[in-house]
Amino acid sequence: MNQGDERNTDGKLRGAEHQAGRQAEQQAGRQVCVDTYALASHGREVSGRAGIARFERLVADLPAQGESDVAWSVRGETDAHGQRFLRVEVDAKPVLLCQRCMQPFVFPVRVDNRLQLVASEADLDPEGGLDDDDAPERILGSQRFDVLGLVEDEIILALPYVPKHDVCPSLPAALDADGDTGRPSPFSVLSQLKKN
C-alpha cells in the first residue's frame, strides 16, 4: 500500500510522515474522507486500521466486541473505457451471537469488492432497469466520501442473516445437529398409517 498517496480528512494529499497522526485520528473516531474521483483517476490508495467499536451501526446489536481492529484499504482504479472504480478490502473479526446455542463467537470477515463510481443518483440503476449479476455494484462518488462509512457497510453486508457456529461447543451432539434426534418424524408415522 502506497503510504505517500494517503489523504487526510480535508481531502489533501499527505506523506508517510503523517501516518501516525492519521492513525490517531481514526482511533479517535473521526471520519476519513477522500475525493473518490481523484483517487480513481490517479490510482491512489488509502488504508488504515480502526477499532471495531468505532463502527456504531455495526456493533449496535452485537455482543461486546473487545479490542478487535478492522484493517481496511480502498484503492481507486480506472479501466480502459474510462470508468472509475473503488477496490475495497476489509479484514475484520466481529463477535456475533450464535442463534443455536446463544453463545458469542468470532466470525472472520474478509471483503474484496469492486464498486463502480457514478456521478449521479440516476446512474445508480443499471441501464434498462435489469440487474446484471456480473456487473459491479454502483456507488455515488463524492469529493468528500466517507471511507469508514463504506467499510462499515461492507462488513454489515458480509454478516450472515442467522449467525451460528459450525459446531456449537456448548450443545450436546444430539441437539447440535439442528434438532435431528434420530427419532422418526411424526409425519412419517402418519404416512405409514395412511398406507395401511
pLDDT tens for 143-192 read 999 999 999 999 999 999 999 988 888 766 555 455 555 566 666 666 66
pLDDT value for 1: 44
What residue type is 165 in one-letter code? Answer: H
pLDDT value for 17: 30
Provide the residue-wise pLDDT of the chain in tens; the chain has 196 residues: 444 444 443 344 444 333 433 443 443 456 789 999 999 999 999 999 999 999 999 999 899 898 899 999 999 999 998 899 999 999 999 999 999 899 999 999 999 999 999 987 777 776 655 566 677 889 999 999 999 999 999 999 999 999 998 888 876 655 545 555 556 666 666 666 666 6
pLDDT value for 121: 78
| Residue 125 phi, psi dihedral angles, 5° rounding | -85, 135
Q: 31, 35, 14: which is closest to 119 by C-alpha?
A: 35
d(CA 166, CA 30): 36
Stated pTM of the model? 0.70
Which phi-psi region, left, alpha or beta, contains residue 179 (left: φ > 0; alpha: ψ -120 to 50)? left
Q: Are strands 145-146 and 137-140 parallel, antiparallel or unpaired?
A: unpaired
Angle at 87 between CA 84 and CA 93, to 5 degrees: 155
Task: Give the gyration radius of the chain's Cα atoms.
Answer: 23
Q: Which three cell numbers stand for residue 191?
A: 404416512
What residue type is 24 in one-letter code? Answer: A
d(CA 5, CA 113): 20
Domains of the chain, by residue range, sit at: 3-167
